[in-house]
Amino acid sequence: MGLDFVGQGAGQTDGNIITTTIDKVVNWGRKNSLWPMPFGTACCAIEMMATLASKFDLSRFGSEAIRFSPRQSDLLIVSGRISIKMMPVLKRIYDQMPDPKWVISMGACASCGGVFDTYTLIQGVDQFIPVDVYIPGCPPRPEDLIDAVLQVQQKITSGASPKGVEVIYE
């Protein structure tokens, strides 16, 4: 968790003092309450719904507070095909999310266009928005999405900036 207990045997404190850094505490809070913004455009969204529902229960990892307003969320889950007409909408939603924000590109279509190698389909949303974690699969199983959320959590714990921030300050 990144919190260090000190004070054992230090007299009157008796193990009740915790030393840490602000960053660590803030990141600990962030990682355990990621609020996802679902951008479900295809069958991956069905798996995402399953992940959020009782059987797979994403709330075990603190990410059950789905927000349909980008202004209230910090994790964008792109699950499905994105066409050239939809991409500006997705970009707008990404831009509306407050920093720091993370992006999961769920499934083959969002990550690389999948089997839809056609004139209208974006061949990977990472061409236009920064993606932190990719999930392979067509569609990926809910366990894969949970794994991706845990990877985002790991990323936050490690103190690494989201991909979006790196892009801004590069």
Partner 1 sequence: MNEEKEVEEQSKPLVLEKLETHHSDALLAQDEARGTIVVVVRKDQAYAVLEYLKTDPELAYTYLVDVTAVDNSQMESELMQFDYARFMVVYQLYSYQGQGRVRVKVPVHENDLSITSVTGLWQGANWLERETYDMFGINFDGHPDLRRILMPDDFEGHPLRKDYPLRGRGERERFNFDKQNV
Window 55-114: residues binding partner 1 (CB under 8 A) = 84-85, 87-89, 91-92
Residue 121 or 148: which CB sits closer to partner 1? 121
Residue 33 or 120: which CB sits closer to partner 1? 120
Q: Is the peptide bond before 98 cis (omega within 30 degrees of 0)?
A: no
Find the shortest distance in angstroms from Cβ 127 to partner 1. 8
Window 120-139: residues binding partner 1 (CB under 8 A) = 120-123, 127
**Segment contacting partner 1 by CB under 8 A, of 32-40, 44-52, 118-126, 150-158:** 118-126
Q: Are 137 and 150 in contact (CB under 8 A)?
A: no
Q: Which residues bind partner 1 (CB under 8 A)?
A: 84-85, 87-89, 91-92, 117-123, 127
